[in-house]
């Protein structure tokens, strides 16, 4: 069983990811992130990426206050890991579909998009492997799951509406904690 990283490891991961993205974070910021994002490495990396976006949008240095704003919804995730069923239900509800539609083989554009988003959210909000995620969707294989996740990541980079969609569904998921 994979254990969450300890504080020292989380701090090293935070510093390294920030450096990869060309950002130098103060010790106070690194400590704050490491104390509050404890579930897994993916969440830490996601927070650092979010801070990079904040820095670019606000054209400002990263302070402890900007970190608190940037990660306030993620901190809750650190304490609450939703079940795959909740993620699928909330994504299906957002798209006015049934959970079975997302789990099944239907390939309409709306259903496929909802399924891809739910896989993306499952990867980012849980500790499940690609194989475990695939098992939630009639045993799709890990490469199908990875492809879905990458499609959503590409949309997040290129489609401003997708950020709002992900934020709304995540908020709905977190409200069920």
pLDDT in tens, 113-161: 999 999 999 998 887 889 999 999 998 999 999 999 999 999 998 998 9
**For the whole model, what pTM was predicted?**
0.59
Distance separating alpha carbons of residues 15 and 3, to the nearest angstrom: 20
Write down the H helix ranges in 21-159: 27-36, 41-58, 64-79, 84-94, 99-103, 109-125, 130-135, 142-158
The CATH number of 84-174 is which of 3.10.20.740, 3.40.980.10, 1.10.1750.10, 3.40.50.300? 1.10.1750.10
Could you say which DSSP state residue 5 is in? P
Q: Residue 174: which residues within 8 A CB-CB, separation 6 or more?
A: 73, 76, 77, 80, 82
Q: What does the pLDDT read at residue 1?
A: 47
- The residues of the chain that CATH labels 1.10.8.60 are 7-79
Dihedral angle of Cα 120, 63, 171, 154, to the nearest 10 degrees: -30
The CATH number of 7-79 is which of 1.10.8.60, 3.30.450.40, 3.40.50.300, 3.30.9.100? 1.10.8.60
């Amino acid at each position: 069983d994979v254990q969450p990283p300890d504080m020292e490891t989380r701090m090293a991961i935070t510093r390294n990811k920030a450096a990869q993205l060309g950002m130098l974070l103060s010790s106070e910021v690194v400590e704050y992130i490491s104390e509050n994002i404890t579930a897994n490495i993916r969440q830490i990396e996601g927070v650092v990426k979010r801070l990079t976006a904040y820095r670019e949008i606000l054209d400002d240095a990263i302070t402890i206050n900007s970190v608190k704003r940037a990660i306030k919804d993620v901190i809750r995730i650190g304490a609450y890991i939703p079940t795959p069923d909740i993620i699928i239900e909330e994504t299906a509800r957002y798209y006015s579909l049934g959970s079975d539609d997302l789990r099944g083989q239907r390939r309409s554009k709306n259903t496929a998009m909802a399924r891809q988003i739910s896989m993306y959210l499952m990867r980012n909000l849980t500790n499940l492997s690609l194989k475990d995620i695939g098992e939630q969707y009639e045993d799709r294989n890990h490469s199908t799951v990875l492809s879905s996740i990458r499609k959503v990541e590409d949309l997040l980079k290129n489609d401003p509406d997708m950020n709002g969609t992900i934020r709304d569904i995540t908020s709905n998921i977190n409200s069920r904690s």
